[in-house]
Amino acid sequence: MLQPVFFRSVFGILPLFIVLLPVNSSTCVMENTTVIREKYENILSHDIELLENMSEEYRDRCCRNKRHETPSAFFCNDTQEIRSLQNMACDMLKFFYKKKINKDFRWQTARVSCMTLEILRCRCDRESKNRKVCILLTQPSKDTLGAQDPKKKCCQELCELKETIASLRSCWNKFEKEIAR
Amino acid sequence: MLRMTRTSTAFVILLFFLLHTTSGESGSTSEDESDDELENMDIECFSQLEIKEDCHSLICNVTELDLNNTNVNLTVCSTIIEKRICSTMEKQEGTYFLYFYGILSPKEVCVVLESNRPYCRSVEVTHIVKPETPFGINITFRKDANEYFIRYKTPHSKKKYLKDKLIHETAYRQENGTWETIQSQYLRVKLLGKSLQMGASYEVKVRSKPNGKYFKGIWSEWSSSEYFQMEAEHPRKKSTDMVVVITTVGFILLFVTLVLILTFWKTRIKPVLWPNLPDHKKTLEQLCKKPKKNFDTSFNPESFGYVHIHKVDGIQAKAEVECFLQPSAPLDADVSEKVCNGSSEMKTSLAAVDKSVLKLPVTYGGIWPSDTLSGHLCETHPSILDGSSNDIPYKVCSSNGTRLYNCGPMTHSSSSADPMVQPRSGPLNTNTMSLIQPNNGVKSSNKDEVYVTMSSFCKNQ
Q: What is the pLDDT, as a whole number, of residue B205?
A: 97
Q: Does B253 touch chain A (CB under 8 A)?
A: no
Least confident of B46-55, B229-238, B401-410: B401-410
* A2, A43, A49, best to mutate vs chain B, most B CBs in 10 Å: A43
First to last CA, chain B: 212
Cβ neighbours of B264 (radius 10 Å): 12
**Cβ–Cβ below 8 Å for A19 and B11:** no
**Cβ–Cβ below 8 Å for A114 and B18:** no
Least confident of A144-158, B199-213, B284-298: A144-158
pLDDT digits (tens, 9 = 90+) for B340-356: 444 444 444 444 444 44
DSSP B143-171: TTTTEEEEEEE-GGGGSSSSTT-EEEEEE
SS3 state of residue B33: coil
Residue among B118, B97, B95, B94 at smallest CA distance from A140: B97
How many CB pairs below 8 A link A and B?
71
Contacts of B6 in chain A (CB under 8 A): none
pLDDT digits (tens, 9 = 90+) for B110-159: 987 776 677 888 999 999 999 999 999 999 999 888 899 999 999 999 99
Least confident of B175-179, B289-293, B392-396: B392-396
Q: What is the pLDDT, as a whole number, of residue B9?
A: 72
Q: Looking at the partner chain, which of B101, B104, B160 has a beta carbon nearest the beta carbon of A119?
A: B104
**Cβ–Cβ below 8 Å for B104 and A7:** no
Percentage of chain A lying above the pLDDT 90 cut: 36
Q: Is the pLDDT of residue B339 over 60?
A: no
Q: What is the pLDDT, as a whole number, of residue B408?
A: 40
The rounded distance, in Å, linking the Cα atoms of B236 and B23 is 75
Q: Does A51 touch chain B (CB under 8 A)?
A: no
DSSP B64-121: -SS---S--EEEEEEEETTEEEEEEPEEETTEEEEEE---SS-EEEEEE-SSSPPEEE
Q: Which residues pair with B188 in a beta bridge?
A: B151
The rounded distance, in Å, linking the Cα atoms of B44 and B30 is 14
Q: Does B165 touch chain A (CB under 8 A)?
A: yes
Q: Is the pLDDT of residue A37 over 80?
A: yes
Q: Which of A31-40, B214-223, B401-410 has the highest mean pLDDT?
A: B214-223
Least confident of B64-73, B262-271, B342-351: B342-351
Q: Is the pLDDT of residue A112 over 90?
A: yes
SS3 state of residue B271: helix
**Cβ–Cβ below 8 Å for B80 and A119:** no
Contacts of B104 in chain A (CB under 8 A): 39, 43, 115, 118-119
> What per-residue string of b and e applies to B63-93 under the rule 16 or more CB within 10 Å gives b?
ebeebeeeebebbbbbbbbeeebebebeeee
* A1, A3, A5, A7, best to mutate vs chain B, most B CBs in 10 Å: A7
**Cβ–Cβ below 8 Å for B14 and A15:** yes
Q: Does B212 touch chain A (CB under 8 A)?
A: no
* B14, B81, B164, best to mutate vs chain A, most A CBs in 10 Å: B81
Q: Does A42 touch chain B (CB under 8 A)?
A: yes
Contacts of B82 in chain A (CB under 8 A): 123
CA of A59 vs chain B CAs: smallest distance (Å): 24
Q: Looking at the partner chain, which of A46, A119, A123 has a beta carbon nearest the beta carbon of B161?
A: A46
Q: Which of A166-175, B103-112, B335-344 has the highest mean pLDDT?
A: A166-175
User: What phi-psi label fits residue B344: left (phi over 0), alpha (psi between -120 and 50 degrees) or beta?
Assistant: alpha
**Cβ–Cβ below 8 Å for A11 and B11:** yes
CA angle B77, B81, B83 (to 5 degrees): 45
pLDDT digits (tens, 9 = 90+) for B6-37: 777 776 777 766 665 555 444 444 444 445 55
Residue among B240, B274, B264 at smallest CA distance from B144: B240
Q: Does A26 touch chain B (CB under 8 A)?
A: no
pTM of the predicted model, to two decimals? Answer: 0.56
Rg of chain A over Cα atoms, rounded to whole angstroms, equals 21
Q: Is the pLDDT of residue B215 over 70?
A: yes
What values do phi and psi take at A144, rounded to 5?
A: -70, -15
Q: Does B244 touch chain A (CB under 8 A)?
A: no
Q: What is the pLDDT, as a whole number, of residue B437?
A: 41
Q: Is the pLDDT of residue A146 over 60?
A: no
Percentage of chain A lying above the pLDDT 70 cut: 69
* A118, A130, A141, best to mutate vs chain B, most B CBs in 10 Å: A118
Q: Is the pLDDT of residue A100 over 60?
A: yes
Q: Which residue has the higher pLDDT, A51 or B65?
A: A51
Are the beta carbons of B53 and B155 closer than 8 angstroms? Answer: no
Q: What is the pLDDT, as a whole number, of residue A124?
A: 86
CA of B35 vs chain A CAs: smallest distance (Å): 33
Q: What is the pLDDT, as a whole number, of residue A133?
A: 86
Q: Is the pLDDT of residue B171 over 50?
A: yes
